[in-house]
Amino acid sequence: MAGKFTELAIDCSDPAALARFWCAVLDYEVLEEDEEEEGVVSIGSPAVPEGKSRPGPVPPTLTFARVPEGKTVKNRLHIDINPTDREQADEVERLLALGARRADVGQGETRWTVLTDPEGNEFCVLATRCP
């Protein structure tokens, strides 16, 4: 049996705030929060609460962990967002209103838009709409 991608860990300075941003972006909910002890917050899809124990593909959870150092260079791994119920430009505007910022990582002319989350992590908004 092959492995299954179930979780993406993201280092950050404010796990609760970054988790709230990504919950709004992905329509996720907080699954687990241990802010006081370790500074870890996990979010996931409310449609698939059983996550790892469910057979077949599942939407991955995102886990935000507090670290002392800040982001210094371009991410080597990033999330791509596919708008499902609106056009790309409308989704970009929604994300900017949530606190995302436009980013230039040398992408030139592309069909996707590069943004950063409130802590500077790059992500892309794709032009196609996929359910």
Task: Give the model's pLDDT for residue 20.
Answer: 97
- What is d(CA 108, CA 125) in angstroms, rounded to the nearest whole number? 15
Can you give the pTM of this predicted structure? 0.84
The DSSP output letter for 71 is P
Among candidate residues 7, 20, 5, the one with its CA nearest the CA of residue 118: 20
- Which neighbouring-strand residues pair with 43? 30, 62
Parts of the chain with a pLDDT under 50:
none
Task: Give the model's pLDDT for residue 82.
Answer: 92
Task: Give the model's pLDDT for residue 14.
Answer: 93
Among candidate residues 110, 30, 92, the one with its CA nearest the CA of residue 64: 30
Task: Give the model's pLDDT for residue 59.
Answer: 86
Task: Give the model's pLDDT for residue 49.
Answer: 63
